[in-house]
Amino acid sequence: MFNSTTKAEIKISGMSCAHCVARVEKSLKNLDGVKDVKVDLETGKATVKYNPKKVEPSKLEDAVKEAGYDVES
């Protein structure tokens, strides 16, 4: 069965170290429907590949906030 995948880029503020990156990645990967996560400390961006039928973009942002960081619009 074919699963569609969408890519989202989330601008994150408040990350300052590798531990921050790991926390954000773990929080996003725990969402059902998230296929892949890459967080770049230097750019402050998370690139998330996810199935839009299983998870909404707002849930991705909520996961970042729950990890303790802010999402920039």
9-64 pLDDT per residue, tens = 999 999 999 999 999 999 999 999 999 999 999 999 999 999 999 999 999 999 99
**Statement: residue 3 has pLDDT above 90:** no
Q: How many CA atoms lie within 13 A of 22 on its CB side?
A: 3
Q: Where are the beta strands (DSSP E) in 1-73?
A: 6-13, 34-40, 45-50, 70-72
